[in-house]
A and B are shown apart, each in its own frame.
Chain A
């Protein structure tokens, strides 16, 4: 199946050190900027439901606002308890100053948005 990219935002909407949430196909997507590089991932903690974009971005890691679990924004890997499971990351494409993402079929089971698949 060919990858389907969805338009998210102009590249300059998320400044270095910032993270913002977008709704893409009914799913919460966090878009963050680490030293000029953009990364996208599911905006839901794998430990217990919370939006990661409401936490802090520090040194390429996003920290959950609820219990302090940390994830590598590039790989999604869990970097600190109480999370043990990676957060799904989305592939990014930039064209004409606009960010597009291809959604990772993997979801966080709680709060990762219910798909429209029938």
Chain B
């Protein structure tokens, strides 16, 4: 999209109802959407900023987050080919998973989109949300804000009010997309990025979709605030990956929610490595019988990072299955929060739900790991369990490796890789796995040897 014509009010600090209206007007949006945005804005204004006294924010201190200091919108240069994209983004693409479709959101706008001809022929739609609203309004109107409502929380409300860019993926009935579809969110200015993902996988279709967040290093705080809505149709299959690897100046807030029709399957992997503060809500709505949700999480916090995941396995219908495994490592002065809830609604009989959280603390006593594995069970014929462990690197494994002649430092790395391997081995994406391995290696990297006791 062009730089020209962006209303001045969108490019200066502060967000208000005028900004919401200006943005909607600038995008030429239908009246219903403008009204939705304004409703979201009112919800944002009505909701107080969460504090440590709010249960859901008990450990994550955001008292120094000043939303009014952020510029709501930052334009991006158009790219007509991949070669026009910033070098760093090209590198991300090269090192990433092979893909059949690609969208790059550069700051507040989509800068580049490519979809393989084969997908287009099968009727797959993959575009930024604004274009989708013009070309496929009927597919969107019923679903946008359907899973992450405009008043979900303070941040989701803001994101709904001023979202920009974003992506829309539609896979029609019965279509199998073999090669993953990839989106990159790239930020290289001080300001904010408020992307929104809407995925609709129709009956019997299947697809893998990856959202990846990365940025150029910056000094001043930047703000990422998104929402992801995933609709999985009857018997359909969606693999969704969120890879958050922002630079350390970014504050990241995101809410991901899925719904599954009868016999649908969703496999999600949420990876949180970057940012200074990262808060992600991941919710699986088991809304029909036979639904199956695998929820994987991987996080690694260093220096003074705060990484917070709140998960929900929302069993609304009977005969559904969910299995969650979130594993995290901490070092230095970092804080991680895992708060997971299995909720079995009345009548959701024959529910099978499992939840596991494991944390390792590496070579420091300054880190702080919080684990809150919760259950709320309102039906009796269910199988539910959860487990949580926190400790240091397993000494027996370490000694075993060392007894095999592997130096201590190397052995420690292997143990950490082994720890995360339980998660990564469950994701059949080679490029992604390699990327994660490199990132974990980097995290362990410099300074780690001295710090591991």
Contact = CB atoms under 8 A, between A and B. Distances in A.
* Physical contact A–B (CB less than 8 Å): yes
Contact of B61 (A111, A117, A118): A111
Interface string A82-118: 0000000000000000000000000101110111011
A22 interface: no
Interface in B259-303: 276-277, 303
Most buried by B among A110, A111, A113, A114: A114
Interface residues of A, number: 11
Given A49-B53, A109-B368, A118-B303, A26 B248 contact: no
B306 interface: yes
B304 A117 contact: yes
B52 to A, nearest CB: 4
B16 to A, nearest CB: 26
A115 B277 CA distance: 12
A111 B52 contact: yes
B335 A49 contact: no
Interface of A: 26, 49, 107, 109-111, 113-115, 117-118
A115 B334 CA distance: 11
* Chain A at the B interface: SS class: loop
Contact of B276 (A109, A110, A113, A114): A114
Interface string B290-325: 000000000000011010000000000000000000
B59 A110 contact: yes
B64 interface: yes
B58 interface: yes
Contact of A49 (B52, B248, B306): B52
Given A109-B335, A109-B368, A114 B277 contact: yes
B91 to A, nearest CB: 22
Given A118-B248, A118-B303, A110 B277 contact: no
Contacts of A118: 248, 303
Contact of B52 (A110, A114, A117): A110
Given A113-B61, A113-B64, A118-B248, 13 more contacts: A26-B64, A49-B53, A109-B335, A110-B58, A110-B335, A110-B368, A111-B52, A111-B61, A111-B63, A114-B277, A114-B306, A115-B333, A117-B303
B66 to A, nearest CB: 12
Contacts of B52: 49, 110-111
A118 B302 CA distance: 10
A49 B58 contact: yes
Contact of A110 (B61, B248, B304, B333): B61
Contacts of B303: 117-118
Interface residues of B, number: 16
Contacts of A26: 64
Ranked 10 nearest A-B pairs via Cβ: A49-B52, A109-B368, A115-B304, A111-B52, A111-B61, A118-B248, A110-B59, A117-B304, A114-B304, A26-B64
Contacts of B59: 110
A69 to B, nearest CB: 16
B278 to A, nearest CB: 12
Interface in B33-69: 52-53, 58-59, 61, 63-64
A118 to B, nearest CB: 6
Contacts of A115: 304, 333
A116 B143 CA distance: 40
Nearest to B64: A26
A16 to B, nearest CB: 30
Contacts of A111: 52, 61, 63
Contacts of B63: 111
A12 to B, nearest CB: 29
Nearest to A112: B61
Contacts of A114: 61, 64, 276-277, 304, 306
Contacts of B64: 26, 113-114
16 contacts: A49-B53, A109-B368, A110-B52, A110-B58, A110-B59, A110-B335, A111-B61, A111-B63, A113-B64, A114-B64, A114-B276, A114-B306, A115-B304, A115-B333, A117-B303, A118-B248
A107 B64 CA distance: 16
Interface in B48-105: 52-53, 58-59, 61, 63-64
Contacts of A107: 333
Contacts of B333: 107, 115
A118 B276 CA distance: 9
Contacts of A49: 52-53, 58
Contacts of A113: 61, 64
